């Protein structure tokens, strides 16, 4: 029996909400044997989990182990509850910290919150798993944190990138020497200017990607060429309209399946957008990579029942250097959505040819029929999508 079908079988028998979900989709565990089979099961959304947990607290019938067998329980904003099994490195962060060069016996300050939410404890378990000695820093008390980092000559940092920057400024203000060599950051975007500023202070910065429910879903290697997906983690990049897996390279929702026997995270849509890099990485690690964080599904707007996402639109418009500015405008007449792409062109561009090319590309890349309106100008900071529909 494969690891996947073993997990599915166990969850079906032990997590009542997972069994109901399978039954509703007309599936039995025998139908889900391979990764490709997973596409038969509709995506479970975070909002679905929140609703399930509201109806059936605390875990909405998704827990597949006795609650007394857990090590910790957490609650994240939503509210959404998360169980932590009593296993080594439950968030699977060790592999990411190793790739970031964290070493046994290294002291590392962990500046993720330890209060109620999982990040602090989860990263601490990862650090301990590879033999690092964590300082449970948490968030706040920056003066005390930098004093401690200085007196222990701490070389590792785990936390938000912006918080690291704040600590460095605090140390400078207090004239305290710090000894940081490497940082593992996640949970917010890392602007390249910030990475560079940290590098200039002698700190190597590695990014991770994950969620409160799923733990580690991707991490930098020294090549910094996309996030390696950890082993025992299935990530499908799926069409945000129908949940079906997309070809490698196309942008869609990150949908996660874990071989997790205590909590049913199967076809869980995390609401983030990314794409898969399938080419092997120069570092030699096997497997697929995620091509960074490309936005939230929530920013998408539905037009004619299909999602239009600013990122998709930006990807398409990147192919049109002759377009100076653009905005997609959604209107509604006679209960039908209309999509108009307003564009401002560079000087001397043939507007008929560009309009035709935009229409054709939109049909292929966005799967939308649209009208093109060539304008003389658009206001600065025009949002990429304007929804003018009213729903009286």
Q: How far is the CB of 281 from Zn ion (least distance, A)?
A: 3
**Interface segment toward Zn ion; rule CB under 5 A; list 106-114, 129-137, 205-213, 280-288:** 280-288
**Interface with Zn ion includes 283 (CB under 5 A)?**
yes
Stretch that binds Zn ion, among 28-36, 106-114, 250-258, 285-293 (CB under 5 A): 285-293
CB of 179 or CB of 248, closer to Zn ion: 248
Identify residues 188-217 at the interface with Zn ion (CB under 5 A): none
- Find the part of the chain contacting Zn ion (CB under 5 A) among 16-24, 260-268, 276-284, 310-318: 276-284
> Residue 42: how many CB atoms within 10 A of its CB?
15
CA 148 to chain centre: 32
Nearest to residue 108, comparing CAs of 96, 123, 119? 123
Cβ distance to Zn ion smaller for residue 129 or 289? 289
Q: Are 289 and 225 in contact (CB under 8 A)?
A: yes
> Which residue number, 285 or 371, has a Cβ lying nearer to Zn ion?
285
Name the minimum Å distance from CB 206 to Zn ion: 11
Nearer to Zn ion, 213 or 220 (CB): 220
For residues 344 and 10, what is the distance between their CA atoms, to the nearest angstrom?
Answer: 57
* Range in contact with Zn ion (rule: CB under 5 A) among 23-31, 61-69, 175-183, 274-282: 274-282
Q: Which two tokens stand for residue 24?
A: 């509703």
145 vs 274 by CB, closer to Zn ion:
274
Told to check if 315 binds Zn ion by CB under 5 A, we report: no
DSSP 304-322: TTEEE-HHHHHHHHTT-TT
Q: In the bound complex, what is the minimum distance in angstroms from residue 243's beta carbon to Zn ion?
A: 29
Tracing tokens 């032990």 back to the chain, one arrives at 14
Least distance CB 293 / Zn ion (angstroms): 17
Nearer Cβ to Zn ion (157/206): 206
Compare residues 97 and 109 and give the one whose CB is closer to Zn ion: 97
Comparing CB distances to Zn ion, the nearer of 174 and 283 is 283
Of the candidates 291, 208, 206, the one whose C-alpha atom is nearest the C-alpha of residue 254 is 291
Q: Is 223 in the site for Zn ion (CB under 5 A)?
A: yes
Other Cβ atoms less than 10 A from the Cβ of 347: the count is 6
Min separation Cβ 356 and Zn ion, Å:
42
- Helices within the chain (DSSP H only): 3-14, 16-24, 46-55, 94-99, 119-129, 142-151, 161-173, 192-200, 310-317, 351-361
Question: Phi first, then psi: what are they for 362, rounded to 5°?
Answer: -60, -40
- Cβ burial 352-373 (10 Å sphere, 16+ → b, else e): eebbeebbeebeeebebebebe
What are the angstrom distances between the C-alpha of 189 and each of 113, 145, 206, 209, 277?
18, 23, 12, 10, 19
Binding segment for Zn ion (CB under 5 A), chosen from 112-120, 256-264, 283-291, 384-392, is 283-291
Q: Judged by CB, which is closer to Zn ion: 4, or 186? A: 186
**Is 281 near Zn ion (CB under 5 A)?**
yes
DSSP state of 339: E
| Distance in Å, CB of 108 to Zn ion, minimum | 22
Beta bridge partners of 171: none
Size of the site for Zn ion (CB under 5 A): 5
We find the least distance from the C-beta atom of residue 184 to Zn ion, in angstroms, to be: 15
116 versus 283: smaller Cβ distance to Zn ion: 283
Q: Measured from the CB of residue 280, what is the shortest distance to Zn ion in angstroms? A: 9
Phi then psi for 91, rounded to 5 degrees? -85, 0
For strand 323-333 and strand 306-308, is the pairing parallel, antiparallel, or unpaired?
unpaired
Residues 231 to 250 in contact with Zn ion, rule: CB under 5 A: none
CB of 295 to Zn ion, least distance (A): 23
Q: Which residues bind Zn ion (CB under 5 A)?
A: 221, 223, 281, 283, 285
């Amino acid at each position: 029996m494969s690891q996947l079908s073993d997990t599915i079988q166990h969850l079906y028998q032990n997590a009542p909400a997972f069994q109901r979900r399978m039954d509703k989709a007309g599936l039995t565990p025998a139908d889900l044997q391979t990764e490709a089979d997973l596409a038969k099961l509709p995506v479970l959304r975070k909002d679905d989990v929140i609703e399930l947990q509201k109806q059936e607290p605390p875990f909405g019938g998704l827990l597949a182990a006795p609650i007394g067998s857990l090590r910790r329980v957490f609650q994240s904003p939503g509210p959404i509850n998360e169980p932590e099994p009593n296993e080594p490195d439950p968030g699977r962060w060790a592999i990411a910290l190793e790739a970031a060069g964290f070493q046994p016996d290294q002291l590392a300050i962990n500046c993720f919150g330890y209060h109620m939410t999982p990040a602090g404890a989860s990263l601490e378990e990862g650090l301990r798993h590879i033999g690092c000695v964590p300082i449970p820093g948490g968030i706040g008390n920056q003066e005390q944190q930098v004093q401690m980092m200085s007196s222990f000559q701490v070389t590792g940092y785990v936390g938000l990138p912006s918080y690291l920057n704040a600590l460095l400024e605090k140390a400078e203000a207090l004239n305290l020497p710090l000894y940081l060599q490497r940082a593992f950051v996640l949970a917010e975007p890392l602007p390249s200017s910030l990475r560079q500023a940290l590098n200039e202070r002698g700190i190597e910065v590695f990014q991770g990607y994950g969620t409160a429910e799923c733990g580690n879903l991707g991490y930098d290697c020294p090549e910094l060429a996309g996030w390696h997906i950890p082993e025992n983690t299935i990530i499908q990049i799926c069409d945000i309209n129908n949940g079906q897996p997309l070809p490698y390279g196309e942008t869609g929702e990150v949908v996660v399946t874990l071989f997790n026997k205590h909590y049913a995270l199967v076809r869980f849509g995390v609401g983030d957008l990314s794409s898969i890099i399938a080419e092997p990485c120069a570092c030699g690690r096997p497997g697929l990579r995620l091509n960074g964080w490309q936005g939230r599904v929530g920013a998408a707007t539905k037009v004619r029942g299909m999602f239009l996402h600013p990122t998709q639109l930006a990807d398409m418009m990147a192919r049109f250097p002759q377009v100076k500015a653009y905005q997609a405008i959604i209107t509604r007449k006679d209960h039908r959505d209309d999509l108009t792409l307003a564009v401002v062109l560079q000087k001397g561009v043939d507007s008929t040819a560009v309009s035709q090319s935009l229409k054709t590309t939109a049909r292929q890349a966005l799967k939308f029929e649209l009208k093109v309106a060539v304008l003389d100008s658009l206001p600065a900071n025009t949002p990429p999508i304007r929804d003018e529909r009213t729903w009286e």
